[in-house]
Structure 1
């Protein structure tokens, strides 16, 4: 196990929700919005009246071993094994996967000082309710209440759970942002992609949403754009003729694997720059988590090309906007050194995705992916950058 002489800050840890995570705080009139049903001896989650397969085992009674899919995601799968075959025998979730006090003890064992803590199942909420923005807000608030019950938003100054925010209903989105900030949230989770509305989908970075971003700026909170079910499956369905087909985690297919390549996060940040939010609010801090880093080069190329064609449309160079406002957590299997060359070492953050199977079994083994990077740069990526972004002192 790796050891460091500086406090490591992990940008990407995960919890596994309890069965009542979505329902404990739902208003009575929405009590059937989420519920479990049993099918052939297995519990499945129903959202409104539709069974979702988004997570094969939504109760997390058993889970895949941390790091079980490392061979797949590193491209080391010469025998062509499926994810199920690579997963092997599932395990019972540790208490540390569901509770903050045991998680602190585990962080000590792993040599991690602080971490951002993201949910797992909650990323299904917004896509499955995108046609009803008011119901989306009800579900988000109920989940955030559960998250505060179980984890708080700042646990012992070391675990920073990330409540969800969504400005699809502007006043409600601002109210929820204010609520979680008042309760101590230091980072919030926003789904990459457009937000739902009564008139369809649109970018959250359009001027209509400026009051929300004004509050983000005033609070100084970090907005983490963590990989989610962002609706990309709908685009895939138009190619595959599978209308209504649902995105299911851990069931990769060749076509989406080839065409995605960071499409959603690329377009999300293109909107944040081109629709002007990051110029109107240059103090806003956006952190890309678990979206990889391979999309950054194509995005910067596309922004450069657009600027050369129509510089009059940009009040400042779009590359400068990106490198001022955006921090990136690459996949462990990415070329981190290439990303450093693109955006600078100050904008790259370590994240292990523990305890998910596609993450690292030993979080600090991420150091192996940094090759010959100088120790000072390693310290920035695995410690200083996230401390600075979060406004925290390594000595605390």
Structure 2
């Protein structure tokens, strides 16, 4: 039977808007689906038959989530979070095929108004999170090789990310060097964290240790020094991006409701990673390195930017010593006030006043004066330093219909009148983008509704992604459909 697929007889609304705007549109988060039999061929060649067969049993759609294998009693007993389901747009067969066939995606990309796209294939976003090293390493290598091969003929408009595992700096560097130097990939994705067992609970056995974990975000309090990896990113001119999920964390653990678990889960994971990089001093030690957080929106980035400055203003070392130091208390005057106004409540117990207010507690007086300055690693001595360590370094992938981007572009409210660096990450290929040709039209509708300005839109669709991807690699867009625009952008900044 031959299936006739209806193709539009005229250009899409997004393509028409793109022509009207007159500048290139770069989508930083298009999701594609691998052809799994071919991936398994690559994996068998790289990892062997046993690894390929084991991985096959854990592919999406194979009920890999323990939730599906449990009874309702077991789900509640283990508080197993309900996973996402029905994640692909299936009504339009042409759109469904587009996300899995590179040639078709390349042919149709401009129908969405997009000139160039960074691709986040489904298995590539999952591979670095595999816990077993003997499975994780070959899967990442096979998936990266597969994507480099199938998208190479379409590099003028499409570039896939390389999946970089981060359980140790050594494995991250090894896979990064292979992906860039051997496979020729120029965009990467790292997990936003690694779940590590808390040592004190390992004595209770692997089942407990697997649940009682801490989140290692590679910056603050990390198990390893990841500076060699960040340095390698700078050397190889690649931008670390992350697409991390927090589903299954304490606040994303509904047994029955996947939407409860899904809402804001990307933002929660991204914020944890972002704070770790900032407070761990990564952005201070690597002033040229930028980071991008995908699919969590940008409202949380605007909030965090302002919140860090507010915390510094109220919790910096000098402010604490001047306003919160327990030695500043005039104990005689305080006792007099308690005697005058406390009545029977404090009668005979005036000597215990400090216990009630807390200034007798040891935790109010750190023995090491260095403990007072929790902004020291980040190198913050004034609010402008937060701008240098945060605003200049972090970019926030935002879907084309996410009206919360207004917070990122609210220059009247943001510190220093900044536009927080939100940029288009459409999430095309997933359930929330039923029509992949509507991406640019959705974004432009925010201008039509007065949510953002025309100027904001250009930063969102073009300037911020150009800025991000050329920050280390001026040739990132060389040989692509946006090469000329990238050269003009770089020339304007010189």
The TM-score, its normalising length taken from structure 1, stands at 0.76
User: Per-residue deviation at 1:197?
Assistant: 8.1
User: Per-residue deviation at 1:382?
Assistant: 0.9
Which of 358, 378, 383 in structure 1 is aligned with 2:457?
A: 378
| Partner of residue 108, structure 1 | 110
Root mean square deviation, CA, Å: 3.4
| Partner of residue 83, structure 1 | none
- Alignment gaps of 5+ in structure 2: 1-12, 71-81, 200-212, 318-372, 471-476, 478-482, 487-494
Q: C-alpha deviations, 1:192-240, integer Å up to 9, x for none? A: 23355897652222461111110011122122222x4x35314247x76
User: Per-residue deviation at 1:11?
Assistant: 1.4
- Alignment gaps of 5+ in structure 1: 66-88, 246-250
Which of 387, 396, 405 in structure 2 is aligned with 1:336?
A: 405
1:284 equivalent to 2:289? Answer: yes
Alignment of 1:129-208 (within 5 A): 129-130=130-131, 132-152=132-152, 155-182=154-181, 183-194=183-194, 201-205=215-219, 206=222, 208=225
1:351 equivalent to 2:425? Answer: yes
- Could you tell me whether the CA contact under 8 Å between 2:34 and 2:122 is conserved in 1? yes
Pair member with larger Rg: 2
- Could you tell me whether the CA contact under 8 Å between 1:15 and 1:120 is conserved in 2? yes
Going from structure 1 to structure 2, the CA distance change for 1:142 and 1:258 (only over 3 Å counts) comes to: closer
| Partner of residue 242, structure 2 | 225
- Could you tell me whether the CA contact under 8 Å between 2:161 and 2:185 is conserved in 1? yes
Which of 439, 456, 462 in structure 2 is aligned with 1:363?
A: 439
- Could you tell me whether the CA contact under 8 Å between 1:37 and 1:45 is conserved in 2? yes
Going from structure 1 to structure 2, the CA distance change for 1:97 and 1:140 (only over 3 Å counts) comes to: same
1:32 equivalent to 2:53? Answer: yes
Work out the number of aligned pairs and report it. Answer: 350
* Partner Cα distance (2:52, 2:58) in 1: 14
Alignment of 1:287-306 (within 5 A): 287-306=292-311
* Partner Cα distance (1:43, 1:302) in 2: 41
Q: C-alpha deviations, 1:133-169, integer Å up to 9, x for none? A: 45322321122122223224x8333211111112213
Going from structure 1 to structure 2, the CA distance change for 1:148 and 1:54 (only over 3 Å counts) comes to: farther
User: Per-residue deviation at 1:384?
Assistant: 2.3
Going from structure 1 to structure 2, the CA distance change for 1:47 and 1:336 (only over 3 Å counts) comes to: closer
* Partner Cα distance (2:236, 2:469) in 1: 12
- Could you tell me whether the CA contact under 8 Å between 2:65 and 2:83 is conserved in 1? no
1:310 equivalent to 2:310? Answer: no
Q: Give the secondary structure class of the aligned counterpart of 1:379.
A: helix
Q: Give the secondary structure class of the aligned counterpart of 1:33.
A: helix
- Could you tell me whether the CA contact under 8 Å between 1:262 and 1:292 is conserved in 2? yes
* Partner Cα distance (1:354, 1:20) in 2: 23
Q: Give the secondary structure class of the aligned counterpart of 2:118.
A: strand
Q: Give the secondary structure class of the aligned counterpart of 1:232.
A: coil
* Partner Cα distance (1:203, 1:388) in 2: 25
The TM-score, its normalising length taken from structure 2, stands at 0.62
- Could you tell me whether the CA contact under 8 Å between 1:21 and 1:147 is conserved in 2? no
- Could you tell me whether the CA contact under 8 Å between 1:261 and 1:295 is conserved in 2? no
Q: Give the secondary structure class of the aligned counterpart of 2:40.
A: coil
Going from structure 1 to structure 2, the CA distance change for 1:315 and 1:259 (only over 3 Å counts) comes to: same
